[in-house]
C-alpha cells in the first residue's frame, strides 16, 4: 500500500485523521479509530511544564499502542519557548514519530495566557520556537493552528509561511478563529489559501460531520488529509466513510462493548466512569435514547452496563 503523503520522512497511510481532543482522544479511543481507518494518532495536548516535572497524569497521556505507528504524534502546548523545546527534547526519548505544537486551543485558561491559539498573536515567536524545535529534535515537528485570534487579526497565511520557513513538516488548520471557538461556520476557503501558500502537507479541520463532508473539504481546499474531531465521538465508523444511518444497533452495542473493554483494560474500573461521555454519543438516534442515556450515566459496574445495553437491544428488535 502506497502512503497517501509523508510528514517529512514519516509515511501516512490514509487521508482521514482523528483530531486531538482534551479528555477524548486517549489511547483506548485512538486504538479504536486507528483500527477503523484513522491515519495518524495525535495525543491529547500535553502541558510542557507537566512533562518537565514528570507529572504522572501528564506523562500517561503520552502512552501509545504499537498499532498507532507510523505517524504516532505527541502534541504539546505552552507559552514559554524554553519549556516547549525542553519538553520536546524530553519526550523524544519515548519514540514518537512526530511532535506537534498546539496553536489552536481556544479555551481562555490556555489561550488567554499565551499558549494554544494565544501563540497566533505573535508569529515571530512561533518562528523562533519552530526554528529551535527543528534543530533540537530529530523527529518531524508540526503545528496545529486556527485562522487567527479574531476576525480582525486573521493571519493564517503569515503563520503558515513562518511555520514552513522555520522547518515545520506539516500544518493542521482548524478553519475558525480563536474567538469563534466552535461557533459559526468553518472557513474552508482559508484552508485552501494555506494549501496554496505552502509546499508542506496541510490537514483541513472544521465542520466535517459526514463522509460527504470529507469529500467536499478535500475538493474545496486541496488538503492532503482531513481531521475529524467532535463528529468522531461515538462514531468511529466515519473513518471508514460510513454514514451513521448505515450503522445498526447491534453494530453500536458491539462497538460500545469493545470500547469499554479497552477503557477497563487501561484505566481499571475508573474506565467505566470515563467511558460515559463516549457512551451517550454512541446512542444518539437510538430508539429510547434519553432513557438509555439516563441509565448509562448512572451505571456503576460492567455488569450493569451489560444489562442496560442488552435490554436496549431487546427493545429495538
Sketch out the chain's domains with CATH numbers. 5-241 (3.20.20.70), 248-315 (1.10.1200)
Instruction: Identify whether the C-beta of residue 158 lies closer than 8 Å to the C-beta of residue 125.
Output: no
pLDDT of residue 289: 83
Q: Tell me the pLDDT band of 317, cut-offs 50, 70 and 90.
A: low
**What is the rounded end-to-end Cα distance, in angstroms, of the chain?**
40
Range 294-303, long-range pairs (CB < 8 A, 24+ positions): 299/272, 300/272, 301/272, 302/260, 302/264, 302/272
pLDDT of residue 178: 96
Residue 242's contacts (CB-CB under 8 Å, 6 or more residues apart) are 211
pLDDT of residue 291: 87
- The overall average pLDDT reported for the chain is 96
What would you report as the CA-atom Rg of the chain, rounded to the nearest whole angstrom? 20
Query: Global pTM?
Result: 0.96
pLDDT of residue 96: 98
Specify whether 105 is catalytic.
yes
Retrieve residue 298's grid coordinates. 448512572
Retrieve residue 299's grid coordinates. 451505571
Q: Residue 58 is inside which H or E element, if any?
A: helix 56-60
Instruction: Using the structure block, give the residue that is written with the C-alpha cell 523545546.
Output: 85
From 105, 179, 223, 299, active-site residue: 105
Average pLDDT over residues 43-47: 97
Kindly tell me if the per-residue pLDDT of 315 is higher than 80: no
Tens of pLDDT along 239-283?
A: 999 999 999 989 999 999 999 999 999 999 999 999 999 999 999
Amino acid at each position: 500500500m502506497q502512503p497517501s503523503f509523508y510528514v517529512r520522512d514519516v509515511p501516512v497511510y490514509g487521508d482521514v485523521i482523528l483530531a486531538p481532543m482534551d479528555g477524548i482522544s486517549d489511547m483506548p479511543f485512538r486504538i479504536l479509530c486507528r483500527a477503523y481507518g484513522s491515519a495518524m494518532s495525535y495525543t491529547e495536548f500535553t502541558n510542557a511544564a507537566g512533562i518537565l516535572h514528570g507529572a504522572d497524569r501528564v506523562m500517561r497521556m503520552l502512552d501509545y499502542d504499537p498499532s498507532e505507528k507510523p505517524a504516532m504524534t505527541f502534541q504539546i502546548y505552552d507559552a514559554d519557548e524554553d519549556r516547549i523545546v525542553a519538553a520536546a527534547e524530553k519526550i523524544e526519548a519515548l519514540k514518537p514519530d512526530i511532535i506537534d505544537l498546539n496553536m489552536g486551543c481556544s479555551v481562555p485558561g490556555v489561550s488567554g495566557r499565551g499558549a494554544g491559539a494565544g501563540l497566533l498573536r505573535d508569529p515571530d515567536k512561533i518562528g523562533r520556537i519552530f526554528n529551535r524545535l527543528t534543530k533540537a529534535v530529530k523527529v518531524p515537528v508540526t503545528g496545529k493552528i486556527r485562522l487567527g485570534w479574531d476576525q480582525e487579526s486573521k493571519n493564517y497565511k503569515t503563520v503558515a509561511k513562518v511555520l514552513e520557513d522555520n522547518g515545520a513538516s506539516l500544518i493542521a488548520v482548524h478553519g475558525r478563529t480563536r474567538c469563534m471557538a466552535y461557533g459559526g461556520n468553518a472557513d474552508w476557503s482559508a484552508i485552501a489559501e494555506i494549501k496554496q501558500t505552502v509546499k508542506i502537507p496541510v490537514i483541513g479541520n472544521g465542520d466535517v460531520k459526514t463522509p460527504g463532508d470529507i469529500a467536499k473539504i478535500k475538493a474545496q481546499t486541496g488538503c492532503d488529509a482531513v481531521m475529524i474531531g467532535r463528529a468522531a465521538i461515538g462514531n468511529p465508523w466515519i473513518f471508514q466513510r460510513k454514514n451513521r444511518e448505515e450503522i445498526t444497533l447491534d453494530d453500536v452495542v458491539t462497538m460500545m462493548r469493545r470500547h469499554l473493554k479497552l477503557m477497563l483494560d487501561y484505566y481499571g474500573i475508573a474506565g467505566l466512569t470515563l467511558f460515559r461521555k463516549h457512551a451517550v454519543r454512541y446512542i444518539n438516534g437510538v430508539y429510547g435514547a434519553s432513557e438509555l442515556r439516563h441509565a448509562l450515566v448512572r451505571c456503576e459496574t460492567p455488569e450493569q452496563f451489560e444489562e442496560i445495553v442488552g435490554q436496549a437491544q431487546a427493545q429495538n428488535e
